[in-house]
Every structure is written in C-alpha cells, then in structure tokens.
A and B are shown apart, each in its own frame.
Chain A
Amino acid sequence: MAHSGANTVITQLRERISHLEGGRSRRAQTLPFGVTEIDEHLPGGGLHFGALHELAGGGAGTVDGAAAALFAAGIAARTKGKVIWCLTRPDLFFPALAQAGLHPDRVIFVEADREEDVLASMEEALSFGGLGAVVAELVRLPMTASRRLQLAAEKTGAMGLVVRRWRRQTEASDFGQPTASSTRWRVSVLPSEVLPVPGVGRARWFLELMRVKAGECAEFEVGACDAAGRISLSTGFADREDQAGRSVHSR
C-alpha cells in the first residue's frame, strides 16, 4: 500500500478503517505479478489474497478458455500451498500446466457433473483455509454466488480464481454482468513473438484488466507464462531464454 503513491493521510485513514472492519487488513496480502506496469494498476501492488478474481478468454478463446486457464495456472503456481481445481469438463492437459510451473503434486482436481456442484466445491475449498489458490471453471457466476465465494475467500485468505468458460461464443456476453469479484481479466491470444528463424515464438497475450476494485482498467500486451508461471511485458522481440523448456537442446 505504501508505494501506491497515495497521500499518507489517506493511507492512515485506510488503516483505521480496515482496523474498524475487523482484522481483515492482516490478511490483505497481495501476490505481485513482478511486472511493474501491471502491479501499479492493482491496489496493494498485486492480486489480493482472500479475494475472488475472474479470468476469461477473449475473442475465439472464450469457448476453450485455454489462455485464461494457463493464466490462472501461472498465478496458482506462484502461490504457496495446495491448489484445488474444480471443473465439470476434464479436458485440461496437465503437462502444459506443469510447463507453467504448477507441480502435479500440488493440484487436486474436483470434478462434478453440475455447475452448482462446482460452485459448492469452490466455496467449501475457499472456506477450508490453508490453501494457496482455488480455481474453478464456470460458465455462469451469478451475483449471489460470487458474493458468497468472495466472503469465503476473505475469511481464510485463500485466492479464488474463476476461469469463465462458455459453451457457446454468444454466451460470453454474460461477462458483462456484475459480480462481487475484486478483479476481472480477459486474456486473448496474440500472434506469437517474431523469431529470427521460422517457427512459433513465445506465446503472447492481450491482457485486459476490465475491472478492479479501487483501481482503473488497463490493457497490456504480455508474453505468456514462463516455466515459473510469470508473465512478462511483451517486448515484441524474441527472448527465448525464459521460455518453458523449449530450448533445452539448443542451449
């Protein structure tokens, strides 16, 4: 909070308010992206633990939500503790998540048949405590449900990541509906970084911070998660050093 550049008086007032709100401030830690341009758009300098974050795929990726899922995996990889991943459609290919730094031992999948069960599982996991992140792949996220999830996350300080994934492109307009989540992101794929040789370079994303509590929207062009789950601001130039195990042979 200190380096958000705000007035010290306001900072003090904020502290007093959060003190009155009852202990919530103790848990209000954040997970920075490690990219200054992104972090300074987020109050607290990163994604808040004990809060709900929504991630959706943009453009043609709304139905498969591949980029959103990998973005979530990268965030989860940088937290500590177990990760619960709730889903209804088991088409996640874990080796890709492992390449984003998420170890298979850390992730426990909870597969349900119905969307409501995914919501219930996520809430249960968020209020259990002691977890790094709880990820859920959801089609719909009604206001009431998101509020419950947000409260459960606040209680234990676990990070809730909702990967919005629709069954049809047209359903994506649902993303305009308000929810109680504290940030909302949209990840669309961009053509990969240009390499001096033919081939597919490091994946690039167009990252839109569509909504953030007590902050302003922003857009970034970033390089996709590397082997440690980190994204980087896209330089537009080939930098294959940190790409997931891609160049082991050529090194």
Chain B
Amino acid sequence: MPRVVSVFLPDLPTERIRRADPSIPAEQPIAVIARSGSKRWVSAADAAARKAGVRVGMPAAKAQALFRGLMLEDANQAADAMALERITLWALTQYSPIVAVDAPDGIVMDTEGADHLQGGEEIMVTGIANRFRAKGLTARIAIADTWGAAHACARAIQRETVIVPPGETVRAVEQLPIHLLRLPEKIVIDLRTLGFKSIAELSATPRAPLTLRFGPEIGRRLDQMYGRLAEPIDPIRSAELIEVSRAFVEPIGAAETIDKYVGRLVVQLIAELQRKGLGVRRLDLIVEKVDGVRQAIRAGTAKPVRDVAWLTKLLRDRTEKIEPGFGIEKLSLVAIMTQPLEEEQRASSLIEEDTTDITPLIDVFGNRGQRVYRLAPVASDVPERSIQRIAAATLPTEESWVHHWPRPVRLLHKPDPIDAIALMPDRPPVSITWRGKRRKITRADGPERVFGEWWKRDSELEAVRDYFVVEDDRGQRFWVFRSGDGIDLETGSHRWFLHGIFA
C-alpha cells in the first residue's frame, strides 16, 4: 500500500515574488493580478493582503480601492510553474524517489519505504513543514493512503500537517467539500447546483445517473481517492540526473533475476558516473510492474561512492522488499544526488595503516533506518548537555571529556525524584529511597557543584546542583544531586534526585 504525501503551497505566487526580491518588507501586502479577456482580477493574495480584505477572485480595481498601499504584480504562470518544478526537484533529492508536480499549486510524493529514513511519518511530515517554512514558503502537508485523499486533506486543513492513518481514508475525506475531488470546475458547479455538498453524499449516489449526466470523471476520481483504482505517480526527472534502465520483454519476478539485473545496472551506472567524475550520494531503484504500479527503493550513502560492491550490497539489502506482483517490466537506477569524486592517491602499502574505512557499514545501518551516530563532547558542566550526537562519518575530533570526578555509566533520561535524609547544607544523604526501596548510604563523595548556565536561560541564573557519589551498604553506587545549594531557596528547590548509576 503506498503512502502519499501531498504538499499544498497556497501562497506560491506571492511567495515567489517575495523570494525573488528579498528587499520587500514583510508587512507589505502583495496581490497578483491575472487577466482573462478584458477582466482583471486578483488571482493570489498574501496573508497581509488578505487581512486587509483582498480576496482571490475580486476585481483588481476593487482590491486597489480597498487598500492603497497594495503592491500589484502581474500573474506569471510560467514563472510559477518553474518555481514549482524547482521545488519538486529539490524534494526529489530530499524525501522520496517518486515525486511529481501536482499542478498548479502543490507537489505529491510517494513515501512508501522512504519515511523510515527520516525517522517515521510524523517526524518526516513536520520536518517537511519546517523546511518549507525556513525557505519562506507556506505549506499544508497531508499524508494518506492515496493521492486523492492526501490532495484533498492538504487543501482542507487549517493547520500545517495532517496524518491520515492507513485504512482511515473514508473517514478522513467523507465530510470534505466536492471541489477537492480534482474535478473540472464545470462539473463542480453543476454538482453544486444539484445540491451535492460533501464527498460522502456524492459517493452514496448511484453511479449510473451521474455517469450519464457528467461522464466517467466523477466515478474515476472517487475510486482513485478511495484507493479502488490505482493512480501511479509519474516521477519528475531532470536532464542532469544520471539514469540507467532496463526494460524486459518478458516480465521478470524471481528474486535472483531481480538481483542479477540490479547488479548489471549498478555496473552501468558506475561507468556513467566514472565518465563524469561523480560519486553517488543517493540512489533510487525504480521498479515498474506490469499492472502500472511503481515501487521505489532508495539508498543513501554517507559520502560519495563509486564502488560496485558497496552499492550492490546497499540495494540487495532491500530488494527482498520488492513485491513483483504480476511481473516487473522495467528496472531503472537513478543517481538522484551526486557529488564530485576525484580519484586520489592512497598511501603505498609500505607505510600501511590498518584503519578500515567503515563508511559502507554505516550506510548499511542507515539504510535500514537505524540511527547511526557518534558522541562528542560539548563544553557544558550540566551532565545531560555535555554530550551531542554527531554524524558517524565525521572526521575524528580527538576531543574527549575531561572530568576529575567519576561519571556514572547509565544516566537516567530525566533525574528521578528520591527521598533522602541528609544534613543541610553540604552533607551527603545518609539514606535514600529510590523506586520504593530504601538504601542505607555507607560511603559518599561530594559535593560537586554544577552551576546553571545563565547565558542559556534566565531561569538558570542562580540554579545550582550539588552532586554526590553515594554507595549503599550492598555496594551499589549512585549519582544523586540536591537541587539548590542547601542554604538559599533561590538556587533550587532543595529536593533530591537520582541521576545516574555507577558500575
């Protein structure tokens, strides 16, 4: 079952103007004027203009009369289409192997089998919204089982994102108005005249009279929305993409056959890359099946690669996910993202160092959707902030932590509140009760005082934690702290917490 993301860019025409000319102040309202015959009308208005009362569809003269400072631009549909295409191509390298323009104001992509690379659907969808916002584009994003449902939901919502869980399409779309069905405007107007409002009403009506009156279009769109009729997404391609493909006269299906041809395609692709001096960072295998369904597999690498064995391994890891169905007609391999890769001279074996390059291994893990990272120190005294995750393939930092105090092996995600009996202000506890179990403390070290980082947060201006290493009578060693310095309540609540477990 595919999962389709639809991105709706409601303000693309005005935002394109803003992006082209960054000197336009944010509060300047912009409206775009289109011309049909002798009529000039507003075809797009940005948030500021809408606030002033400008509506899409109103005559240009009226808009001008409403608001004097309105900036009017002529509509340029070609430029809009080009901007949309650029965004689509960018999304192709970022999110999914199958991305297409959903003209005139959106893009659509099939993210089946691609979302795990972004950390799951929810994180992916919010991530897309954030990326678009950072680029100065308003976006409404929906993910659903079908193109039709995602398209309708993206255009119906007020918030930024919506996730329609698998199998919930009917419930999600039935109340939506019929103009979201992607029907020609004429049909929508006629249906409204007949009294149809929601998609549920339309789908509950017998098909035959509707088809007689309006043609097959309504039935087709409804079936596509409910997933009864496949609607393949034809992915966008640009001339620069390096693509090799192989069409089969007789459809193939056996796993070994698929693997064999994938191997051959990799060799072909590498030859192409070699000619251009490029290495691949993202690689898509697109499988076209007899019944018109496309399936795509994406593999990413941590650094540019032109190695047959490595790429074949990455793809073969995933080819078992291919469901050949009635057979595969065509396999294509596309290098979506490439980077220059020069041949370099390696040290001769005389001074050989036995450092193994483990980037292929990192790629294998990453493509299985696992989080691969290294840890690096951050200059912070607060324990939970002294660690950051860095990409596994980054160069060695040589840095490590310099602590004169021992650190616990396990650090609790959040300090656990405990009951402690201790003399104020600076004595370690004589007993603690953690998770309902009382422990008598026989030995302790401390306090190690950790100050709040006032340059990060105002509330930490006076915050203090006093850490103690304590050992109970059975030899278990814990890291406990008291919030505050034990004298001044301004510095903390004087409550005790357990933060880590020593070995």
Contacts and interface: CB of A to CB of B under 8 A. Distances in A.
A200 B443 contact: yes
B503 A109 contact: no
A111 B442 CA distance: 37
A112 B469 contact: no
Given A66-B410, A93-B383, A191-B475, A108 B358 contact: yes
Contact of B403 (A95, A104, A130, A190): A95
Interface stretch (A4-12, A14-22, A39-47, A243-251): A243-251
Contacts of A105: 374, 396-398
A224 B444 CA distance: 17
A200 B398 contact: no
B401 A189 contact: no
Contacts of A64: 409-410, 501
B245 to A, nearest CB: 30
B469 to A, nearest CB: 5
B406 A191 contact: no
B373 interface: yes
A84 B374 CA distance: 10
Interface residues of A, number: 62
B294 to A, nearest CB: 27
Given A70-B409, A200-B445, A60 B474 contact: yes
Nearest to B377: A104
Nearest to B360: A128
Contacts of A249: 404
A131 B356 contact: yes
A147 B75 CA distance: 68
Given A64-B501, A108-B372, A82 B358 contact: yes
Contacts of A120: 368
Interface residues of B, number: 56
B412 A110 contact: no
B408 interface: yes
Contact of B373 (A70, A109, A121, A201): A109
A117 B368 contact: yes
B374 A109 contact: yes
B404 A91 contact: no
Interface string B375-409: 11100000100110000100011111111111111
B397 A203 contact: no
B403 A66 contact: no
A28 B358 CA distance: 23
Interface string B459-498: 0000000000111011111000000000000000000000
A120 to B, nearest CB: 7
A94 interface: yes
B373 A111 contact: yes
B354 interface: yes
Nearest to B383: A93
Interface of B: 354-356, 358, 360-362, 364-365, 368, 370-377, 383, 386-387, 392, 396-413, 442-445, 469-471, 473-477, 500-503
5 contacts: A64-B409, A71-B503, A99-B406, A125-B361, A200-B444
